[in-house]
């Protein structure tokens, strides 16, 4: 028997590994970037950037989504290193993905947060990457849309959500008004936008098509996807996935849970069926770890992003 020691494969892919391909470290060790991607602010040559916005100062009910990016990154470690379901691809064979870390803002001056989110998102997008954002409460989508629209023009919004987020906006910050403000600023093409899983009533829909949770149950994943494709067409689209679109059985860790929502498998099947859309960016928001159990909600959020990365990888392939 050889006396040579067994040399372990390198760990901490978040700092030391290659930009392409999976890592070899156990899921329970190492630095927890999203799916073990390299932590870096050098995004030259990257195809996509994942970053977090740990902000929950605009919640109307239970806080805690400031811890969402950490939890989603932690949950994402279970995916790395294997061909991914349902594509069968390792997305990192096709894509160079960097974890940029988190948005920087001063918690003492929360009124500055939207401008800082928009500016930092714009800086990242200027490099030509797809920007994938881990929230954070749903108010962050407004400055994200502003940054994306500055580059791409008005977008079709595809929103998975228990709520319409069209409550009256009076200039303040709320996770329930981002659609109202986006419509007023002309950021979204409301005639091509759609909301899925809604089960609350709001003052206005601004002409956005709604597939409520009961109708979604009747349509099934294939029927929902067909309606979305018909609505969006060839327009560039932005995906905003509020985790409370899922029933609390599948996403207990959120600030405003509403019973009667989508099953996780149905929501993921819809997203996967929409891989032909012209996606320009996405966020997953409202993961609130203090109310989660066994990372159920964080795993759901990480899986949404994992599916989106597979969509991007298929397009490259």
Tell me what pLDDT residue 148 has: 98
Report the domain count for the chain: 1
Domain assignment of residue 182, yes or no? yes
Per-residue model confidence (pLDDT) at position 177: 82
185 belongs to a structural domain:
yes
Percent of the chain with pLDDT over 70: 94
Among 22-31, 77-86, 181-190, the range with the most confident prediction by mean pLDDT is: 181-190
What range defines the domain where residue 79 resides?
Answer: 13-24+32-316
User: Looking at residue 7, what is its pLDDT?
Assistant: 56
- Name the more confident of 42 and 28: 42
Instruction: Tell whether the model's pLDDT for residue 309 goes beyond 80.
Output: yes
The residue-averaged pLDDT of 35-56 equals 94
* 310: in domain: yes
For 131, phi then psi, to 5°, come to -105, 125
Q: Considering the entire predicted model, what is its pTM?
A: 0.92
Angle between helix axes 213-232 and 264-273 (nearest 10 degrees) is 10
Please give the Cα distance from 47 to 38 (Å, whole number): 13
Q: Tell me which of 144 and 78 has the higher pLDDT.
A: 144
Which range of 21-25, 104-108, 248-252 scores highest in mean pLDDT? It is 248-252
Question: Is there a domain that residue 1 lies in?
Answer: no
CATH code of 272's domain:
3.40.800.10
Instruction: With respect to residue 270, please indicate whether it lies within any of the assigned structural domains.
Output: yes
Asked if 206 and 183 touch (Cβ cutoff 8 Å), the reply is: yes
DSSP letter for each residue of 186-198: T-B-GGG-EEEEE
């Amino acid at each position: 028997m050889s006396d040579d020691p067994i040399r372990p494969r390198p760990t901490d892919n978040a700092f030391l590994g290659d930009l392409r391909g999976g890592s070899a470290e156990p899921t329970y060790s190492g630095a927890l970037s999203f799916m073990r991607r390299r932590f870096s602010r050098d995004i030259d040559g990257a195809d996509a950037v994942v970053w977090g916005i740990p902000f929950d100062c605009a919640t109307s009910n239970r806080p805690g989504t400031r811890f969402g990016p950490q939890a989603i990154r932690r949950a994402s470690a279970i995916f790395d290193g294997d061909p991914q379901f349902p594509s069968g691809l390792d997305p990192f064979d096709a894509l160079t993905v960097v974890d940029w870390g988190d948005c920087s803002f001063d918690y003492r001056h929360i009124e500055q947060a939207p401008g800082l989110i928009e500016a930092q998102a714009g800086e990242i997008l200027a490099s030509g990457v797809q920007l994938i954002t881990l929230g954070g409460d749903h108010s962050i989508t407004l400055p994200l849309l502003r940054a994306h629209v500055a580059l791409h023009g008005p977008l079709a919004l595809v929103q998975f959500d228990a709520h319409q987020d069209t409550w009256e906006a009076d200039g303040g910050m709320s996770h329930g008004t981002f659609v109202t403000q986006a419509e007023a600023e002309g950021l979204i093409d409301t005639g091509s936008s759609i909301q899925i899983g809604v089960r609350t009533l709001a003052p206005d829909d601004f002409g956005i098509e709604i597939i409520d949770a009961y109708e979604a149950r009747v349509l099934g994943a294939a029927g929902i996807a067909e309606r979305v494709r018909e609505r969006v067409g060839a327009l560039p689209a932005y995906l905003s996935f509020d985790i409370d679109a899922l029933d609390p059985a599948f996403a207990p860790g959120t600030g405003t849970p509403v019973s009667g929502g989508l099953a996780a498998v149905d929501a993921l099947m819809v997203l996967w069926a929409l891989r032909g859309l012209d996606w320009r960016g996405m966020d997953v928001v409202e993961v609130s770890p203090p109310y989660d159990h066994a990372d159920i909600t964080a795993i759901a959020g990480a899986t949404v992003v994992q599916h989106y990365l597979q969509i991007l990888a298929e397009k490259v392939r």
